Amino acid sequence: MGHKSGNYNGKAYFDYEIERYKDKKTSAYLTIDEVEDLAHNQDYDWVEENYEYVTLSLDIEGTSYFTQGKYYGPSEDCYPDEGETEITSILYGKEDWDDKITKHERDYIIDMIAEHAQEDYDGDPDVDEDRDYDIY
């Protein structure tokens, strides 16, 4: 995902839905890939008997900033782009789900945090860089 021209600094809060299979006996949540690995020698009825397909809504919170670099003029006045996007919490209800999401889900969440922070930042040079920007 590319950055908009200019700087931004903000926080993001949003819901993100994921799909899982819930084990009917243990109530454990498994990814689709995990269930497919377990069921590779089974038929679809076996999956239906043992797992319930569910959609879970996770509460996401994160921060992101970006400062555009300078690439022209004397070399001592030039500097690269700088930025970072961080997930500060992933909750399902009150349960921490940070270690239960897939790499693909994590990458998408990171992109969404950066996008929300960019969209909410008004670009006012007089705004304190530490100000919070909330997306609901």
Q: Label each residue of 67-118 as H, E or C.
A: ECCECCCCHHHCECCEEEEEEEEEEECCEECCCCCCHHHHHHHHHHHHHHHH
Q: Is residue 39 part of a domain?
A: yes
For residue 62, is it within any domain? yes
Counted domains in the chain:
1
Mean pLDDT for all residues in the chain: 86
Does residue 83 fall inside a structural domain? yes
Q: Is residue 66 part of a domain?
A: yes
Residue 134 forms part of a structural domain: no
Residue 13 domain-assigned (yes or no): yes
Residue 84 lies in a domain: yes
Q: Is the pTM of this model over 0.85?
A: no
What pLDDT, in 10s, does the model give residues 67-89?
A: 989 899 999 999 999 999 999 99
Domain that holds residue 93: 8-120
Query: What is the distance between the alpha carbons of residues 89 and 45, in angstroms, rounded to a whole number?
Result: 36
Residue 1 within a domain? no
